[in-house]
């Protein structure tokens, strides 16, 4: 999720102050991702440093309004017109955990899968309940909320299918065939050994 571009997109509508940006972000994403005000102000300061927003004077209530610059508008347009590059996604902790569990001697990878499946199914049920309790209204906030929840539901369903696949893959190999001992090869990079004096 790009907080930077999201805040710029909101500011492209009109100048806003920090807490207002937080409220607008939650309203437009169905409240699925929480942003704290500190994160918003840190992001705004980086955007100001990069010339994408300008800081206005405080109003009579002490609110400092931030305004998007022309360069910020260009960045929003480019972000909205470009596909999200999923190849550079953050590391998947579950995939790393399971691949390590499958190759560490003495670790029951099947138990790791069972535990995760329980967590995934519970999350999926929670998301489906949340989706069911949402308004069927055509209000923009309701549509935004359902889009976000649907994406989260589809991701949880995909994770459950991947866990089934991983379980079948691991069952096809005897436990001892996957265990890897530490390699005796020493990496070539790193600190060179000290020469004897």
Cβ atoms < 10 Å from Cβ of 9: 21
Q: How far is residue 43's CA from residue 149's CA, in Å, rounded to a whole number?
A: 25
What would the pLDDT profile of 100-146 be if each residue is shown by its tens digit?
888 878 888 899 999 999 999 999 999 999 888 766 678 888 888 88
Specify whether the CB–CB gap between 149 and 32 falls below 8 A: yes
71 by Cβ neighbours in 10 Å (0-12 / 13-18 / 19+) ranks as: middle
Residue 80 to residue 75: CA distance in whole angstroms: 9
pLDDT of residue 168: 93
8 A C-beta contact, residue 123 and residue 159: no
**pLDDT given for residue 66 in this prediction:** 97
CA dist list (Å): 84 to 1, 48, 75, 79, 89: 10, 24, 14, 9, 9
Query: Which residues are within 8 A (CB) of 179 and not within 5 positions of it... i.e. 6 or more apart?
Result: 103, 104, 105, 106
Strand partners, 58: 64
Q: Can you give the residue ranges of every domain in the chain?
A: 3-80, 91-178
- pLDDT at residue 176, rounded to an integer: 54
- Return averaged pLDDT per consecutive 10 residues of the chain, 197 residues in all: 88 94 87 85 96 94 95 95 74 84 84 94 94 75 88 94 93 70 71 62
What is this structure's pTM? Answer: 0.70
E-assigned strands of the chain? 53-58, 64-68
CA proximity to 119, closest of 111, 170, 2, 42: 111
Q: What is the CATH number of domain 3-80?
A: 1.10.10.10
Q: How high does pLDDT run on average in the chain? A: 86
Res 180: pLDDT:
67
Distance CA(67)–CA(14), nearest Å, equals 7
Secondary structure of residue 61 in the 3-state scheme: coil
């Amino acid at each position: 999720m790009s907080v930077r571009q999201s805040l710029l997109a909101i500011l492209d509508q009109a100048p806003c102050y920090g807490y207002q940006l937080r409220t607008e972000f939650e309203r437009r994403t169905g409240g699925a991702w929480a942003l704290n005000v500190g994160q918003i102000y840190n992001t705004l300061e980086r955007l100001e440093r990069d010339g994408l927003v300008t800081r206005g004077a405080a109003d009579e209530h002490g609110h400092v309004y931030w305004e998007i610059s022309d360069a910020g508008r260009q960045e929003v347009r480019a972000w909205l017109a470009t596909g999200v590059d999923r190849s550079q996604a953050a590391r998947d902790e579950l995939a790393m955990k399971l691949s390590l569990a499958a190759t560490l001697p003495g670790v029951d990878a099947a138990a790791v899968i069972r535990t995760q499946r329980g967590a995934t199914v519970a999350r999926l049920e929670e998301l489906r309940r949340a989706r069911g309790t949402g308004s069927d209204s055509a209000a923009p906030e309701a549509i935004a909320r359902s889009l976000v929840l649907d994406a989260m539901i589809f991701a949880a369903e995909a994770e459950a299918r991947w866990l089934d696949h991983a379980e079948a893959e691991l069952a096809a190999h005897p436990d001892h065939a996957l265990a890897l001992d530490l390699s005796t090869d020493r990496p070539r990079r790193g600190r060179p050994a000290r020469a004897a004096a």
